Amino acid sequence: MNAQAVGPSAGSADGPPGEAGPRVLVVDDNEMLRSLLARVLGGEGFQVSTAGSVEEALRLDPAAHDVVLVDLRLGGRPGTDLVDELRQAEPGAADRCILLTGGLGLDPVPADLPVVTKPFTADSLVAAVRRTLVARRAGAGQRTEDRDRGTGTEPR
Amino acid sequence: MTAPPAHVLLRLLVALQERGHRVSAERLHDGPMQDFTAILLDLASVRRRLPDELADRVNTIENRLRATTVGLHQPPSPFRLDHDARRTLTTGLSQRVDGLLVDHLDTDLRFDDGEPTGGEIAVALAAVQLLLMASDPVGTGERARVSARCGPDGLDLLLSVQPSRHEPPADAARAGRLRPLADLIGAELRHDPDTGAWKAALTLERPRAAEPAAGIPPPAVR
């Protein structure tokens, strides 16, 4: 069992001082990378949980996380299975997912999700996480506005 | 009409190349790319504890390391390009012929009256590679041109080659290497004894509608 939660980290990634940072779930079957990703993201103020497989990730309630970083190539089920499970539970839930891949053209990649290609720098990964957070907040704000105006559309 | 047995072999050759390409890409992903990512993340952890001047230097190292390792990525297989026949053949020739078997490759692809199938592209790609290998098993030819025209009846392929200027124009050994291969795959050869240039024409006829396609499928796209 590799699933574990790291944090809460000191400081906040994006919120006011003293407030716990956004929650990030890292799903990668490489133990060393999981540990390093947790350290880097924790250092940026995120609350990080880690899992080594789709099954472990599902036990950590991925929908309760603000961002899910998932490697496409996991030992058993592929990372896209986790995205599919999230989509089945809630159509818009996949907008929190960022895919990690190590090979261009190696695996089919859902066209609507951001992809970070290995090897990546810590800065580029953190930037991708922040972009996803901003996009989700913007999407949530738009949905609230639409609902208030009665013009809401069904989630994707 | 069924596919000639030699064309089945040509398709198998490309299928083998595809398998090798995939295994190589997977090994790169599962090994060095994971390690390089770990090194980059480790460097970032160290950088964040350093004073600004040193941190900037480490940041520069991170970016250089990433740029270098990204260059190690293999290009996607030509058979994974959205089933676009022109892109598939152009990319296949670019990856496996241009610069590898000839110094300069020109292409003239006319697919207005029909698109070649994946299997036809595989046969064409393998035929071009093997003919160029037979022409010069060690070095590279100076210049080649691949012309392909596709219609409802199949694919017409013409390979025109100008061997390296270091080779004698009338090279009996080259002609002797090309002849059995051309006979095997059904290509028509023409030599220019004055310049040493040679051409190979190959027609891939399609089976009639009532006949089942023979042979193996095109390289698997997983």
Q: Which amino acid type is present at position B197?
A: A
Give residue-wise pLDDT tens across range B46-89: 999 999 999 999 999 999 999 999 888 878 888 876 678 999 99
Give a yes or no: residue B173 inside a domain.
yes
Residue B189 within a domain: yes
> Which has more confidence, B75 or B127?
B127
Same domain, yes or no: B60 and B83: no
CB contact under 8 A, A119 and B66: yes
Identify whether residues B50 and B104 lie together within a single domain: no
Please give the residue of chain B at the shortest CA–CA distance from A42.
B45
Mean pLDDT to the nearest integer, B141-160: 93
pLDDT of A2 over the 70 cut: no
User: To which residue do tokens 């219609």 refer?
Assistant: B151
Domain that includes residue B110, residue range: 78-205
Confidence band of B215 (pLDDT split at 50, 70, 90): very low
Better-predicted residue by pLDDT, A150 or B123: B123
CB interface of B with A, residues 143-162, below 8 Å: none
Question: Is B82 found in the same domain as B66?
Answer: no
Query: What are the domain boundaries of chain A?
Result: 4-149
What is the model's pLDDT at position A10?
39
In a domain, B96, yes or no: yes
Inside any domain, residue B86: yes
pLDDT band at B196 (very low <50, low <70, confident <90, very high): confident
| Residues B138 and B44 reside in one and the same domain | no
- Quote the pLDDT of residue A3: 56
Mean pLDDT of chain A: 82
Q: Are A136 and A63 spatial neighbours (Cβ–Cβ below 8 Å)?
A: no
**CA torsion B123→B126→B132→B136, rounded to 10°?**
-140
- What's residue B219's pLDDT? 57
Q: Are residues B113 and B186 in the same domain?
A: yes
B65 and B120 in a single domain? The answer is no
Of A47-51, A61-65, B211-215, minimum mean pLDDT range: B211-215
Q: Which CATH fold topology does A4-149 show?
A: Rossmann fold (3.40.50)
Residues of A in contact with B62 (CB under 8 A): 121-123
Q: Residue B8 corresponds to which tokens in the numbers above?
A: 């089945």
What does the alpha-carbon distance between residue A6 and residue A63 come to, in Å, rounded to a whole number?
A: 17
- Which of B25, B41, B59 lies nearest to residue A103, judging by beta carbons? B25
What's the structural domain count of chain B? 2
Q: How far is CA A45 from CA A17, A24, A69, B39, B104, in A?
A: 10, 10, 16, 21, 54
Residues of A in contact with B42 (CB under 8 A): 36
* Position B1 pLDDT exceeds 70: no
B190 & B155 share domain: yes
Look up the ipTM and state it: 0.77
pLDDT band at A15 (very low <50, low <70, confident <90, very high): low
B141 part of a folded domain: yes
What CATH number is associated with residue B182?
Answer: 3.30.565
Q: What local confidence, expressed as pLDDT, does residue A143 receive?
A: 61
Burial of B180 (0-12, 13-18, 19+ CB in 10 A): exposed
Please indicate, yes or no, if residue B215 is contained in any of the structural domains: no
The H or E element that residue B150 is part of is strand B141-151
Q: Is residue B137 part of a domain?
A: yes
Placement of tokens 């392929």 in the chain: B157
